[in-house]
């Protein structure tokens, strides 16, 4: 009984750890220039590996695009897709494939034909 209670605590703590606010940057190489997007995610729910929330992308001109986040989690691996419904990237999507390590998420990011690296940190 004690072992099953401990496993339950680990399971609950692990599942809830991705919920919350994540902030960081996606850096992409465009020609000879390094371009940085600010990224904000609000992960609202995780159920059976399905992730839902909202996401924002802010470019170097301080233009913000906002949309709906949909994704999945398998262990420490996450895959997000943000469909923008507001801002300069309206009707485009932003993709994140990454790994979670504690309060950090690192991996790849894509906006259209732009590919880069992402680094996010959990804020709450």
Please state, as a whole number, how many other Cβ atoms lie within 10 Å of the Cβ of residue 7: 10
Across residues 85-90, what is the average pLDDT? Answer: 95
Inter-residue contact 109 to 28 (CB < 8 Å): yes
Q: What is the CATH number of the domain that holds 101?
A: 2.40.128.120
> Is residue 69's pLDDT more than 80?
yes
Express each pLDDT in 35-65 by its tens digit. Answer: 999 999 999 999 988 999 999 999 999 999 9
Q: In a 10 Å sphere around its CB, with 0-12 CB exposed, 13-18 middle and 19+ buried, how is residue 52 labelled? A: middle
Structural domain that includes position 40 = 2-122
Q: How far apart are CA 61 and CA 35, in angstroms?
A: 11
Number of domains present in the structure of the chain: 1
């Amino acid at each position: 009984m004690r072992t099953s209670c401990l496993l339950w605590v680990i399971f609950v703590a692990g599942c809830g750890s991705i919920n919350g606010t994540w902030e960081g940057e996606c850096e992409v190489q465009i020609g000879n220039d390094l371009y940085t997007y600010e990224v904000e995610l609000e992960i609202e729910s995780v159920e059976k590996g399905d992730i839902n929330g909202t996401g924002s992308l802010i470019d170097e001109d301080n233009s913000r695009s906002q949309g709906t986040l949909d994704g999945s989690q398998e262990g420490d691996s996450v895959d997000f897709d943000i469909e923008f419904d507001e801002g300069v990237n309206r009707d485009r999507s932003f993709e994140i494939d990454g790994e979670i390590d504690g309060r950090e998420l690192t991996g790849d990011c894509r906006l259209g034909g732009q590919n880069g690296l992402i680094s996010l940190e959990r804020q709450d």
